[in-house]
Amino acid sequence: MKYASLNNLALLCALCFLGANTSRGVDIYVRAEKTSLTLPDGKTVEMWGFIRDADNNFATLETTAGYGFQGRSIEIPPTGAGNTLVIRLFNRLDVPTSVVIPGQNGYAAAAPHATFVDDLGRTRARSFVAETAPGAVGVYQWNNVAAGTYLLHSGSHAALQVQMGLYSPLTRQQSNTSPYPGVQIPASRQATLLFSEIAPDVHDAVQEGNYGPTPVDPARQMTSTMHSRPRYFLINGVAYSQAAPPPDIVLGGNRNNPLMLRLLNAGLDAHVPVVGGLPVSAIAEDGALYRYPREQSAVFLPALKTTDVVLTAPVGARLPVYDRRLGLVNDTQSPGGMLVYVQN
């Protein structure tokens, strides 16, 4: 399926961020470290984030915005500029961590898996790939990164570390005017929307030292995220609030032409994005292009899923994008949560 081509090219809005480009592709220096996030009702939770190291030198620790819930995504140049991704990860957390990209071959195929012995004496997997120990630097490399939309995230104790914030959108264009082969939509007509959620009981347990087998306060011990309950719902790291609504996402280019939304779910629960009540054509998931578009009124996004949709919107339209499962609260406050507006 081919869509109308545009002549002008712009950056993939303020959410996207390029690492250091080399002839091989992109070489990114990232720190995994603790940070915090203040929510619309004033509650502050501890988060773990992937922080971009601006000068590619871990000897100095700049304060810069990070990826994922902190508003940035990783963008790989299109074919011709190199399509190798190298991530140099400095682990400043107190626990081992790692990086995986579902849908991409590479580091995970050959890396050893970290294990632990449980209470019954069984050897269990702790990570999908080799881990980077606290205070160490690990190097993760993927060759021949295919065009598409991916959710990069921690490969260690993923049920906890992804919930804590170790994730980021990752995108690569097929060309400067094409996200996939045969799909002609330039970057100025694309937007990335990352859905995520926060279960404050998990974050509080981690911050207070009560998560895991040796809690500070045994009466408040939490050993799993299985029964946690999200209470805050975010798009691109921001929960909607009438008092301080997030800025609209404004698309450029020829507004008569189609637009594309890259939808990602970093939450542990499924979400169902709806785009202004308009029908959309789902064209790819997890970076894999469908043979034929799938016409839908809503998009089902399971945990850690990505889906790319194309639609044509009226010129000047201000389209609400929200979660049909009604992740539209900030704890007990409504309206809030997963709501953002896209301007065509």
CATH of the domain at 37: 2.60.40.420
Full domain range(s) for residue 58: 16-183
Residue 157 lies in a domain: yes
Full 3-state SS string of the chain: CCCCCCCCCCCCCCCEECCEEECCEEEEEEEEEEEEEECCCCCEEEEEEEEECCCCCCCCCCCCCEEHHHCEEEEECCCCCCCEEEEEEEECCCCCECCECCCCCCHHHHCCCCEEECCCCCEEECECCCCECCCCEEEEEECCCCCEEEEEECCECHHHHHHHCCEEEEEECCECCECECCECCCHHHEEEEEEEEECHHHHHHHHCCCECCCCCCHHHCECCCCCCCCCEEEECCECEECCCCCCCEECCCCCCCCEEEEEEECCCCCECEEECCCCEEEEEECCEEEEEEEEECCCCECCCCEEEEEECCCCCCEEEEEECCCCCCECCECCEECEEEEEC
Per-residue model confidence as pLDDT tens digits over 19-72: 455 445 789 999 999 999 999 999 999 999 999 888 899 999 877 667 888 878
Instruction: Determine the pLDDT at residue 4.
Output: 37
Residue 96 lies in a domain: yes
Per-residue model confidence as pLDDT tens digits over 145-154: 899 999 999 9
Residue 21 lies in a domain: yes
Residue 123 lies in a domain: yes
Residue 190 lies in a domain: no
Residue 67 lies in a domain: yes
Residue 287 lies in a domain: no
Instruction: Determine the pLDDT at residue 6.
Output: 31
Instruction: Determine the pLDDT at residue 19.
Output: 47
The answer, as to whether pTM is greater than 0.85, is yes
* Alpha-carbon gap, residue 185 to 257, rounded angstroms: 8
For the chain, list residues with pLDDT below 70: 1-24, 64-65, 79-82, 106-111, 119
Q: Which of these, 99, 91, 96, lies nearest to 137 by C-alpha position?
A: 91
Residue 64 lies in a domain: yes
Q: Which of these, 263, 271, 268, lies nearest to 287 by C-alpha position?
A: 263
- Following CA atoms 177, 271, 39, 64 in sequence, which dihedral angle do they give, to the nearest 10 degrees? -30
Counted domains in the chain: 1
Instruction: Determine the pLDDT at residue 16.
Output: 37
Q: Using an 8 Å Cβ cutoff, are 253 and 304 in contact?
A: no
Q: Using an 8 Å Cβ cutoff, are 171 and 76 in contact?
A: yes
